[in-house]
Amino acid sequence: MKNLLHFITSACLCLWVGFNSTDEIKHSLQIIHKGISLTKPVICTLVEVTNDNALPHEFYMDVESVVCGDNQCKIDVVRIYWDELGRFNKLVLPKDVHLEKAEGISFTDKDYNKLNDILKNEDSPLQDVFKDEIVGTVGGEGVDAMSGETILLEKSAYVKGAVWTCYSLWHWVHGDIKQHIKDITGKSYSKQDLRLLLKQKDYQAFAIEQLTKKEGYSKQTAHVILNAIETDPSLLKSSLPYWENAPKSIYAFGSEELLSMLKPTNRMLFLTSILQTQQELSPDFFNQLTPLVSEFTYQEIDIFLNILKEKQMVTNNIIQSLVPLLKAENFIISRRAYYFLEGIDLSKENERKTSNFFEKWKDRL
Amino acid sequence: MTRRNMKRRKFFKKSVKGTLGASMIPLSGFSNPAEKTRTDYNSINTETPFGNTDPKQWHQMGSGKKPRPDRRKTVTYDVAVIGGGAAGMCAAISAARNGSKVVLIQDRPILGGNSSSEIRVHLNGVNHLRNGLPERETGIIEEILLHNRFHNPQDSYPVWDHVLYDFITKEENLDLKLNTTAIRAILSDDGTIKAAYCWQLTTETEFTIEANMFIDCSGDGLLGATAGALYRTGREASSEFNEKYAPNEADGWQMGSTVLLGSKDMGKPMPFEPPHFTLKYDAEKSHKERQLKPFELGFWWVELGSDEDIIGEFEDNKHKLLGYAYGVWDYMKNSGKFPETENYALDWVSSLPGKRESRRFIGDYILSEPDLIGNKQFDDAVAFGGWSLDEHNPGGIENLSEPPSYFHEDFEEPYQIPFRSLYSKNVPNLLFAGRNISQTHIALSSSRIMATCALEGQAVGTAAALCVKKKILPRTLGENHINDLQEQLIRDDAFIPNRPANDNTDLLKSAALIFGSSTSSGDAKLLKDGWSRDYHDKKHHWQSDGLPAHVQVEWEDRVSISKLEIKCDTNVKRNLMLRRDSLENDIYTTKIPKEMLQSLDIEARINGKWVNIKSIDKNKTRLIKFNFDTIETTAIRINLKSTYGAQHAKLFEVRCYS
Ligand SMILES: Cc1cc2nc3c(=O)[nH]c(=O)nc-3n(C[C@H](O)[C@H](O)[C@H](O)COP(=O)(O)OP(=O)(O)OC[C@H]3O[C@@H](n4cnc5c(N)ncnc54)[C@H](O)[C@@H]3O)c2cc1C
């Protein structure tokens, strides 16, 4: 039944009337709904449905089917269901309620299917639209007036004649509520539950986020997170707050591991987090990092050299890897290396190399 | 001067000196013509009971023995701007900033034209296109609106007047003459305007203002008209420019003037007795679009136009308009149909009707409806508009059965305004901006909106300064140097749709690399792509990921720089003009844009070391300019520290000049 819209089927009617309150927990929340106001939250009640283990299993909320932009809508109360991670499951209508399009025409099956597709689409064009952008407006000189004729969205984004319904429901489904659901679920799960979820696709970012909130720091947890990042490097970004706030030993371990599996696409992100972190990094870490300079772009070299300066981490070993950059093909890279080397104590040999560089390029420094 | 006033004057003079006494008695005698022949002035003089006042002076002026002080002055400027509305203010500022010595002549005691506290029209612009979103004007008009957000968070109209006064009078190279009317043009033999003859009401002074360039932003265009500049009034026939919304036959109809009013909830029932000149409002006969609610801020459709001499009829029409305005209010208060007005009372009624239309000068090009609707692309585009074709009904409030305006059509994207519509066809050194530009009645129905007028103002002010620099006339500037004009406008943060900047003197163009310390949207490379806003769904920005952040520019070779210019984000998709209702929603704000950069500094790498060049702690503009002594550098870094609330900093452009 998941991920299907349910309409006036007996099953869903049972749901509608048949909840027993023992496995339901009510949460009162303040939500921003783009169609209502960008600044004033709406107070609403989110209901958590728990499973036999008393863990959240799904959530639902009763909402008005439409925040009407042109005073021409029929408003019903409908129920939206999400799974435990805030992903849309289904929409349920009370008995005898039919969604309506313009001029009171009921939704057809095709319309319901289209609405289901629209609500499932996290990236719908509806997401960036403000309610004033939906229909063309014509302004008078005094107070601006609305005229509700032209709809400015691509056709796939709404059911014809029911643009306000689609807009309102999409923003209920994909608004602030998702984070609230994740946090409620995260709170009910133990660290061990979350570690297990780190192995399940689709749950990983959620698990990392909630482990950070729960301060779930252990070598074991760090391992599982690193494994997850290795298979999906895009998880690095969501893991950064985890490392940033970790105890020293976990950070030291994590940063070396992350470096060993670092992909070029993640380098800037990683280097930036190193520059900004208050955490301590070992000389070993830098010995491991330095050989990468030959592959670095200018920007990466720049930030790397800033890191060395900031963390006062200049060893002979590092200097040795930097000197060849004076001969880099890209002049601005060699100049950047020169500026760095020029300011530190160097061996005779390296001093000679930097002076040669200066002699050759002094007009461009 | 009355007797009493003279006494008062005397009193003040004396009290400064600390000597008060009987001296007031004989002095009062001097102003009495009956007594003056009997007085021996020499003897009075020897008594000297008059402090520092010479009693002879009063007598001699009164008797004609001494002439009235000769208050005639001839002053010379590079550029004279007539009219201190949105168009005139922007023209004056841009001409001054581009190196001309400028005078701004305004016949009222305050600046702002229709937006001033005397009239209180919202300074609208491209408030919303067909997609519902604004495409807000930048440049000088935005700077003014931002200035207002800093100095007038209370949204007061009288304070707005002084926000404008502050803005204009702090500009170097710009003299403001208030209460001064440009009465006529004095011409040279070659047909150019040599001077504007002006009268300053408050000082009884006749000014002859000589200048190289004259810009008529007065709306009514008296100076231009007396110079013999060609103009039109009324409506064109639809066949002339192929305008579908124009009438079949040309006629004299000009959209009207309006008296606005405002009311206030007094917290208790407030009776209203209409004054004797009230004209009854017949709501039954009125078209339903004459909306009576909201009623608090008056009714823009209380409007009277004319088929003939709208300027000559102004005072008579004003009397009627006051009658109509009070008539509508009487209907609200006393018809019994609006119980919600019970506690409301008028607390402001304008005494100066706001004007919409009169003369339209003829330039080398007449902008018309097909240009707007077809979004014609002009090689000499210098400004843009995008308010709907909002043509008010012929007859105004004396034609109740028609809707007060025909919103014929709104626009999908902004239309362009060409430079050729902004200078006179036959008076060689006359430029204009505002509602009097070279356009048809239908084009005016959209372009008359004040922020659009302001963009035209910035364009002609800049053009006039370039003409002065190059010693040429506007037509030659348009024909041979239009690129220079457009580049300067864009550099000064005016936006010309579909015309990206391409300034070869910008040293950023020769940079080897530009990058941001972090990126959450866009790309640092876009900071030199010539576009200063996202447009047509294309990004032209770089946005940091959090703050602080920096943008760094690297050159392969050393460059000499003395200017760095940045365009930051102020969200051009949100309107920020002063409004009487202080509207706050998704597309209007009363706040300082949260996206705008608040504090930043710039560093340059000189001999391998980063050196701080300049810092700004409280930035108030979208175009952020740094001027400094020339430095030799190979890299610069712009450190972005905070915004007025946004989490990330967004930039659109960085430029460097030697
Ligand atoms: C009630 C009303 C509602 C409107 N609604 C809007 C709206 O919502 N938004 C909007 O933007 N526009 C609106 N408009 C139109 C708009 O206000 C005008 O088209 C606009 O003000 C024209 O700008 P301007 O700078 O050309 O002239 P003005 O704003 O009229 O400024 C010209 C100034 O020049 C002065 N002047 C005139 N003659 C001389 C002279 N000989 N010497 C010296 N000074 C002189 C005038 O006193 C005036 O202050 C409205 C107009 C009215 C009347």
CATH number of the domain where residue B103 is located: 3.50.50.60
**pLDDT reading at B156 higher than 50:** yes
Q: Which atom of ligand 1 is nearest to the CA of B256?
A: 53
**pLDDT reading at A6 higher than 70:** no
Residue pair B82/B88 in contact (Cβ under 8 Å)? The answer is yes
- Considering the domain architecture, whether residues B47 and B140 belong to the same structural domain is answered as no
Instruction: Specify the higher pLDDT residue, B59 or A283.
Output: A283
For ligand 1, whether the C-beta of B450 sits within 6 Å is yes
Tokens linked to B3: 């007797």
What SS3 string covers B307-364? CCCCCCCHHHHHHHHHHHHHHHHHHHHHCCCCHHHCCEEEEEECCCCECCCCCEECEC
**pLDDT reading at A14 higher than 60:** no
Residue pair A56/A85 in contact (Cβ under 8 Å)? The answer is no
- Considering the domain architecture, whether residues B206 and B81 belong to the same structural domain is answered as yes
pLDDT recorded at residue A101: 84
How far off is chain A from B130, nearest CA to CA, in Å?
5
Alpha carbon of B346 to ligand 1 centroid (Å): 24
**pLDDT reading at B9 higher than 60:** no
Alpha-carbon distances, residue A169 vs A61, A181, A291, B494, B574 (angstroms): 11, 17, 53, 40, 25
Burial class (CB in 10 A: 0-12, 13-18, 19+), B424: buried
Counting DSSP H helices and E strands in chain B, the numbers are: 16, 25
Alpha-carbon distances, residue B523 vs A200, A237, A269, B497 (angstroms): 34, 19, 15, 21
For residues A276-285, give the mean pLDDT. 90
Q: Which of A38, A40, A70, A141 to mutate to test the interface with B (most CBs of B within 10 A)?
A: A141
> Which of B8, B11, B56 lies closest to B36, judged by CA?
B56
Alpha carbon of B356 to ligand 1 centroid (Å): 7
B131–A contact, CB cutoff 8 A: yes
Angle, CA B76 vertex, CA B71 and CA B81 arms, to 5°: 95
pLDDT recorded at residue B60: 66
pLDDT recorded at residue A70: 61
The span from the CA of B217 to the CA of B215, in Å, is 6
- Considering the domain architecture, whether residues B160 and B96 belong to the same structural domain is answered as yes
Angle, CA B583 vertex, CA B577 and CA B587 arms, to 5°: 70
For residues A312-319, give the mean pLDDT. 89
pLDDT recorded at residue B44: 44
Q: Which atom of ligand 1 is nearest to the CA of B180?
A: 43
**pLDDT reading at A4 higher than 50:** no
pTM here? 0.82
pLDDT recorded at residue B406: 87
B163-178 pLDDT, tens per residue? 999 999 999 999 999 9
pLDDT recorded at residue A133: 63
- For residue B124, tell me if it sits in a domain: yes
pLDDT recorded at residue A1: 30
Alpha-carbon distances, residue B396 vs B88, B255, B306, B323, B401 (angstroms): 28, 8, 9, 14, 10
For residues A116-142, give the mean pLDDT. 72
Residue pair B446/B385 in contact (Cβ under 8 Å)? The answer is yes
- Considering the domain architecture, whether residues B49 and B81 belong to the same structural domain is answered as no
- Considering the domain architecture, whether residues B56 and B83 belong to the same structural domain is answered as no
Three-state DSSP class for A104?
Answer: helix
The span from the CA of A29 to the CA of A60, in Å, is 13
- For residue B210, tell me if it sits in a domain: yes
Q: How long is chain B?
A: 658
What's the mean pLDDT when you consider all of chain B? 91
Q: How far is CA B451 from the centre of its chain?
A: 7
Number of Cβ within 10 Å of residue A22's Cβ equals 7
- List chain B residues with CB under 8 Å of A130: 132-133, 586-587
- Considering the domain architecture, whether residues B18 and B86 belong to the same structural domain is answered as no
- Considering the domain architecture, whether residues B38 and B147 belong to the same structural domain is answered as no
- For residue B158, tell me if it sits in a domain: yes
Residue pair B635/B548 in contact (Cβ under 8 Å)? The answer is no
CB contact under 8 A, B410 and A272: no
- List chain A residues with CB under 8 Å of B350: none
CB contact under 8 A, B410 and A134: no
Among residues 499-558 of chain B, which lie with CB inside 8 Å of chain A? 512-513, 515, 517-518, 552, 554, 556-558
For ligand 1, whether the C-beta of B123 sits within 6 Å is yes
The span from the CA of B428 to the CA of A216, in Å, is 79
**pLDDT reading at A330 higher than 50:** yes
Phi–psi pair at B102, nearest 5 degrees = -125, 145
- Considering the domain architecture, whether residues B228 and B114 belong to the same structural domain is answered as yes
Residues spanned by the domain of B475: 74-234+357-378+419-491
Residue ending a domain, choose from B458, B491, B524 = B491
A201-260 pLDDT, tens per residue? 889 999 999 999 999 999 999 999 999 999 999 999 999 999 999 999 999 999 999 999
The span from the CA of B360 to the CA of B432, in Å, is 10
Q: Indicate which residue's Cα is closest to atom 34 of ligand 1.
A: B83
Angle, CA B362 vertex, CA B360 and CA B363 arms, to 5°: 130
- For residue B329, tell me if it sits in a domain: no
Tokens linked to B601: 């500094």
- List chain A residues with CB under 8 Å of B388: 138-139
pLDDT recorded at residue A3: 36
Residue ending a domain, choose from B37, B63, B89 = B63
- For residue B437, tell me if it sits in a domain: yes
The pLDDT confidence band at residue B505, using thresholds 50, 70 and 90, is very high
**pLDDT reading at A305 higher than 90:** yes
For residues B185-204, give the mean pLDDT. 97
For residues B124-151, give the mean pLDDT. 94
The span from the CA of B603 to the CA of B611, in Å, is 5
Counting DSSP H helices and E strands in chain A, the numbers are: 15, 7
pLDDT recorded at residue A143: 43
- For residue B306, tell me if it sits in a domain: no
The CATH number covering residue B574 comes to 2.60.120.260
For ligand 1, whether the C-beta of B106 sits within 6 Å is yes
Instruction: Specify the higher pLDDT residue, B549 or B42.
Output: B549
Alpha helices in B152-236 (DSSP H): 157-169, 222-226
- Considering the domain architecture, whether residues B129 and B29 belong to the same structural domain is answered as no
For residues B437-463, give the mean pLDDT. 98
Q: Which atom of ligand 1 is nearest to the CA of B444?
A: 19
The span from the CA of A179 to the CA of A176, in Å, is 6
B377-399 pLDDT, tens per residue? 999 999 999 999 999 999 999 99
Tokens linked to B628: 């400094």
Tokens 């190196």 locate to B99
The percent of residues above 90 in pLDDT, for chain B, comes to: 84
How far off is chain B from A213, nearest CA to CA, in Å?
20
ipTM of the complex: 0.73
The span from the CA of B257 to the CA of B261, in Å, is 13
- Bridge partners (DSSP) of residue B423 are B431
- List chain B residues with CB under 8 Å of A38: 585-586
Residue ending a domain, choose from B442, B465, B491 = B491
**pLDDT reading at B203 higher than 60:** yes
Instruction: Specify the higher pLDDT residue, A50 or B28.
Output: A50
A88-92 and B174-177: which strand pairing?
Answer: unpaired
B12-37 pLDDT, tens per residue? 333 333 333 223 332 333 333 333 34
- Considering the domain architecture, whether residues B471 and B512 belong to the same structural domain is answered as no
Q: Which residue of A has its CA nearest to B123?
A: A141
CB contact under 8 A, B388 and A132: no
Tokens linked to B380: 């000499």
For ligand 1, whether the C-beta of B516 sits within 6 Å is no
- Considering the domain architecture, whether residues B45 and B112 belong to the same structural domain is answered as no
Tokens 């030697």 locate to B658
Query: Among A262-271, B141-150, B277-286, B520-529, whose mean pLDDT is lowest?
Result: A262-271
State the total domains in chain B: 3
- List chain A residues with CB under 8 Å of B452: none
**pLDDT reading at B67 higher than 90:** no
A363–B contact, CB cutoff 8 A: yes
The pLDDT confidence band at residue B52, using thresholds 50, 70 and 90, is low
Residue pair B199/B183 in contact (Cβ under 8 Å)? The answer is yes
Sequence letter at residue A13? L
B607–A contact, CB cutoff 8 A: yes
* Residues contacting B413, CB < 8 A, separation 6+: B129, B135, B375, B386, B497, B536
Alpha carbon of B260 to ligand 1 centroid (Å): 14
For residues B35-64, give the mean pLDDT. 55
- For residue B300, tell me if it sits in a domain: no
The span from the CA of B11 to the CA of B19, in Å, is 9
Tell me the best of B114, B123, B180 to mutate to test the pocket of ligand 1, counting ligand atoms within 8 Å of each CB and taking the most: B114
Tokens linked to A287: 């010995």
**pLDDT reading at B410 higher than 70:** yes
CB contact under 8 A, B128 and A139: yes
A342–B contact, CB cutoff 8 A: yes
The pLDDT confidence band at residue A343, using thresholds 50, 70 and 90, is confident
- Bridge partners (DSSP) of residue A49 are A24, A58
The span from the CA of B210 to the CA of B76, in Å, is 5
What sign has the CA pseudo-torsion B625, B626, B629, B635?
negative
- Considering the domain architecture, whether residues B159 and B201 belong to the same structural domain is answered as yes
For ligand 1, whether the C-beta of B258 sits within 6 Å is yes
**pLDDT reading at B75 higher than 60:** yes
> Which of B416, B502, B506, B425 lies closest to B459, judged by CA?
B416
> Which of B70, B98, B95 lies closest to B211, judged by CA?
B95
Alpha carbon of B158 to ligand 1 centroid (Å): 17
Instruction: Specify the higher pLDDT residue, B253 or B133.
Output: B253
- List chain B residues with CB under 8 Å of A299: 513, 515
Q: How long is chain A?
A: 365
The span from the CA of B584 to the CA of B594, in Å, is 14
Residue pair B624/B616 in contact (Cβ under 8 Å)? The answer is yes
- For residue B623, tell me if it sits in a domain: yes
